[in-house]
Homo-oligomer: A and B are copies of this chain.
Amino acid sequence: MSLRKKKSEIIKKEKRNLFIISALSVFEEKGFNNTRIKDITKRANTSVGNLYNYFKSKEEIFEVIISGIAELMISKFKELFVYFKDNKIPPIYAVKNLFRGYARIFKAKKETFLIFFEQMGGINTKYRAKRNKIIDNFTKEVEKIIIKLLEFGARPQNPKISARVWTSTVLGVFTWWIRSDFEPEEEELVNNLTAFLSRGTMTK
């Protein structure tokens, strides 16, 4: 590819990103259904028609914004499973690391998570289903951990319910946290969550 072409590719990608960022912020502010294409393009300092040079529809932008959130949510759990391989329970600092990871992710993707958790279910049935599926998949991962812990002697409990508690907590608490401008401090939040959920799950 020529140098000129490579450059224009980059510019195009940047423009596309600008659209995504603009759309993200308007969606978060007004909600998908009450966002006008013009709102997005105005915020991106361009014209209505131009958006359609980068995306084929309003929904496509939304999809792009949401895509990746599923992987993002599951990603942090992988690290915990390492311990199980060595026949050990994840130590407390590993759990702390888990929640610290989520704090960072939610902070970095603030608007995306707000849209995902607060709005997505209300846009239409398709997105409601999608949202619930993502949450369910996340819960399944948690459940696997709970089941492992039970094998290691955790307090007897229905793993489905406990997993759902963890999921609800992570989503609910972190969404609240970003909504309230990252108050309380990250460290305090992480410590409290670790303590609460560990005690809820384990005997000791």
Shortest beta-carbon distance from A113 to chain B in Å? 12
Expressed in whole angstroms, the Cα–Cα distance for A120 and B31 within the complex equals: 11
Expressed in whole angstroms, the Cα–Cα distance for A101 and B75 within the complex equals: 36
* Known contacts A31-B124, A119-B128: A164-B160 contact under CB 8 Å: no
Judge whether B124 and A34 touch: CB under 8 Å. yes
Judge whether B30 and A33 touch: CB under 8 Å. no
Does A81 touch B at the CB level, under 8 Å?
A: no
Provide the residues of chain B in CB contact with A199, threshold 8 Å. Answer: 155, 199-200
Does A157 touch B at the CB level, under 8 Å?
A: yes
Q: Tell which of B120, B169, B200 touches A122, judged by Cβ atoms closer than 8 Å.
A: B120
- In the complex, the chain B residue whose C-beta lies closest to that of A131 is B118
Provide the residues of chain B in CB contact with A169, threshold 8 Å. Answer: 165, 168-169, 172
Provide the residues of chain B in CB contact with A162, threshold 8 Å. Answer: 192, 196
Judge whether A168 and B179 touch: CB under 8 Å. no
Expressed in whole angstroms, the Cα–Cα distance for A162 and B169 within the complex equals: 10
Provide the residues of chain B in CB contact with A164, threshold 8 Å. Answer: 172-173, 176
Shortest beta-carbon distance from A4 to chain B in Å? 14
Does A57 touch B at the CB level, under 8 Å?
A: no
User: A residues within 8 Å of B by Cβ?
Assistant: 29-34, 118-125, 128, 131-132, 155, 157-158, 160-162, 164-165, 167-169, 171-173, 176, 179, 184, 188-189, 192-193, 195-197, 199-201
**Closest 3 A-B residue pairs measured CB to CB?**
A122-B122, A168-B172, A118-B121
